Chain A
Amino acid sequence: MRRLGALLLAVCPAVGGCGAFAASTRRPTAELPAGAALLPARTRRLTNWELERSLAAFTGLDVTIAQELPPDVRQEGYTPNVAQDVSTAWATRYSALVQQLAVKAAARLPGRERCRDLGPDCRARRVVELGEFAFRRPLEAEEQRSLEALVSEAANAGEGFEGAMSELLQTLFESPSFIYVSELGEATAAGTRRLTNDELASELSFMLTGAPPDAELRAAAAQGALDEPAARAQQAWRLLGLSSTRYQFRHFALQWLEVDRLLDTAKSSQLFPTYDALKPYMLAETENYVDEVLVHRGASVQALLAGGFASVGPEMARFYGLKTYGPRASLAGSGRLGVLQQASFLAAHAHEDVTSPVKRGDFVMRKLLCEKVKRPAEIGLEVVMPPPSATLSNRARLSQHIADPGCASCHSTLDAIGFTFESFDAAGAAQTSDHGHAIDTRTQVRLGQQATEVQSLASSEALTRALLENPQIDKVSECFARHAFRYFSAQADPRVEETFVALRAELDESERDNLFRVLVAYVASDLFVLREVKGT
């Protein structure tokens, strides 16, 4: 309970509260425009997945705790954010899980034979070695003293090497310096805070890989090299080159597409008997497609929306009615084009038994056009869903509720976009009829509240093409970058987002749509390095 109590209480309350960070020589980088909003100086609790990756990196064991912890809080749909807290339920569960892990990890500490006597030198070496890895920075003198005392106490109590190391590991795993990532920085003359090299290394690594800094990045931080924009950019490209980095970008893509919880969804077993069996393949298709596009097709929203191929095995190839399967199986003639026509997206944006043009249209508005769609409660509307019908098509049924002027203000756009997807059922399979009526995917719609042109669209393919044409393409591309920034910078402050958008606008047109180039530009900028103190 000693550790648990410390965990609950030790949320760094203010700037400077989480301990010292190594001082380093600094050289100024290009200044941001005057008045540009910065990210706040803060500490952020790592997401469950980031903690899992941290524990795996630390112990070398296969760690699976993310699914066993209470789920992460989401902001704008994304799990990396400053709203993650340490609730009693979370702390209790986490403590129990890392207790077991500490025992296993202590038994497998490399080189433990050299240090079984737990003499003072051994204690100090172990504490520094493990503590610095866990805290991602040098230990403060007081931290080192108390951790050494803990090891001594355990050893004196007859717990032996593994018992003492288990105590030490559990304490480290439950420490705020392990669970939280610090962006508190050091004061600058301009009144802002500047991240230390150790903080920069952590920020860079968690942002791009979802895992703590590796040895090379820690070494660069120790040398103070990360003050240099070029060095940060070089490290960023190095991390992006690692195969394991794909998992972070998959996480982003799945959360952006709102399909990351697909395996938790259910469909009517009478209407969609193969859905449960196919769900893992649907998810795998999206993951593989994202990999293929980001590696080989340029990391752009255009490529994600309109790759023209599927990355599928025989199961999904047959589900889609394709002639081939493989990493780039042609989608020609299938009515599918990219992520918006993938079964995972279509099933996640549908009800258990019937399609949801509203959910599909809502996604396009929010996530591709960055249009604010008011929820019914925000405008004082009580939602009365159109009653089920044995004879009407889903489109005809929903068209009745668009006739209500209160609903029409939003739904005339949402539903019109969503109707283009009606050629795909609630489980993502192609459908040609609905309650005996031929499917009609034709629609007329303004793509965005400021759009002046009413577009006639024949299908979701046509919708996708329209989104990738002028004038929407710039908006869609910027919207995608905004969402990426929310995920990778773990915040959703619109003011800071504008600073990022301005930074992106300075890039060459050819670089602006490439997610990797935009992120590296962000890493090399002062926006990545500087923080503002709340209230100043």
Chain B
Amino acid sequence: MPKTLLNGSLAALLILVACQKTEGQPSVFGGEGAKVADEKPLPEGAGKPEALGPCGKPGPVSDAALIDDFEDGNDRIFKAFERDGFWFSASDKTEGSTITPLAPFAAELLPAAEASKENRYAAHLTAAGEKNWGVVWGAALQWTREGIKCPLNVSAFAGVRFRAKGPGTIRVSMAVPEVTPKEGGGTCADRCYDAHGKVFLLSSAWDTYEMRWEKMQQGGWGTEARFTPERVVNLAVNVDVKSLPADLWLDDVELIPKTAPAQAAAPAAAAP
């Protein structure tokens, strides 16, 4: 150690440290150091305490495609790395109306003719008699770490795919925090629940349906928001009053890898 450092020149110390020998050493960790945004001046207001929080920026990208195949028979989505969520259902509670499953949400054994060794369960959704806004079944989607729950980052995927059987008309949607009220894990305070989605006409046979992010639109009646796959809080299947009563089956809900080719002819309706 040079004598000049003995009395503590910080600059000299930093130069010394910066010149530590890395020459000749093979690259480590793929040559990637800190994964922090490139150096920038700190903008006014950035990182203010009130803007902070574990959900202030997107969580890590989810890399598990399967949301749920219902084979575990419970109300949790398929658990994957730092991912959690549960199925829920709700109706407008018109007097005399019915909805199943309500709570707890439980998958149902498929009829023997439709079941196989690998596929025994699916979600069986029925509802009748609602006269206000209808019914919704859905799954909360969360990134959790050390008990902190935040929106899920599904930006590695191109959309959602599922198998379903009707007949019936459903609107499948994915909500971002801006259209979700606080009690649902969002930030919306007014005209909430107008999530981005797409309408599907289900046939009476099992079919696979796809919803790609770029094809999704809001209903147009609620708070306007941009769909950001980096931050989604739930996936929902809505049936409005015109499409009731409903007797539907849903299975194998999964995210579509970006590399997957688009489905040739998705049986979807024109409305968003």
**Footprint of B on A, CB under 8 Å?**
61-64, 100, 104, 107, 160, 162-163, 237, 240-243, 245-246, 249, 263-264, 273-274, 277-278, 280-281, 288-289, 291-300, 302-303, 306-308, 311-319, 322-329, 337, 461-462, 465-466, 468-470, 473, 510-511, 513-514, 516-517
- Which of A237, A293, A319 is within 8 Å of B47, CB to CB? A319
- Which of B29, B36, B78 is within 8 Å of A311, CB to CB? B36
- Complex CA gap A288/B40 in Å reads 17
- The residue of chain A having its C-beta at the shortest distance from the C-beta of B30 within the complex is A243
- Complex CA gap A240/B29 in Å reads 6
Return chain A residues, CB-CB under 8 Å to B18: 297, 308
Known: A243-B30, A245-B28. A469 touches B22 (CB 8 A): no
Known: A61-B80, A294-B28. A514 touches B21 (CB 8 A): yes
**Contact assessment for B29 and A291 in the assembled complex, using a CB-CB cutoff below 8 Å:** yes
Please classify how large the interface on chain B is, using the bins under 10, 10 to 19, 20 to 34, 35 or more.
35 or more
B63 within 8 A of A: yes
**Contact assessment for A295 and B6 in the assembled complex, using a CB-CB cutoff below 8 Å:** no
For residue B156, give the distance in angstroms from its CB to the closest CB of chain A: 12
- The residue of chain A having its C-beta at the shortest distance from the C-beta of B28 within the complex is A240
- The residue of chain A having its C-beta at the shortest distance from the C-beta of B22 within the complex is A298
Return chain A residues, CB-CB under 8 Å to B265: none
Return chain A residues, CB-CB under 8 Å to B34: 288-289, 291-292, 311, 327-328
Q: Give the segment of B52-60, B172-180, B232-240 that binds chain A.
A: B52-60
Query: Interface SS of chain A: helix, strand, loop or mixed?
Result: helix
| 10 closest cross-chain pairs (CB), A and B | A326-B39, A298-B20, A243-B30, A62-B81, A314-B47, A311-B34, A288-B34, A314-B46, A318-B47, A292-B34
For residue A243, give the distance in angstroms from its CB to the closest CB of chain B: 3
- Complex CA gap A316/B57 in Å reads 14
A-contacting residues, B20-78, CB 8 Å: 20-22, 25-43, 46-49, 52-54, 56-57, 63-64, 72, 78
B269 within 8 A of A: no
Pairs across A and B, CB under 8 Å, 15 listed: A64-B79, A243-B32, A280-B54, A291-B35, A295-B27, A298-B25, A302-B20, A306-B13, A308-B18, A311-B34, A317-B42, A323-B41, A326-B37, A327-B34, A469-B1
B8 within 8 A of A: yes
**Contact assessment for B29 and A241 in the assembled complex, using a CB-CB cutoff below 8 Å:** yes
**Contact assessment for A328 and B39 in the assembled complex, using a CB-CB cutoff below 8 Å:** yes
- The residue of chain A having its C-beta at the shortest distance from the C-beta of B3 within the complex is A470
Return chain B residues, CB-CB under 8 Å to A306: 13-14, 17
Apart from A298-B21, A317-B46, what 5 extra A-B contacts exist at CB < 8 Å?
Answer: A240-B28, A300-B17, A307-B17, A327-B33, A470-B1
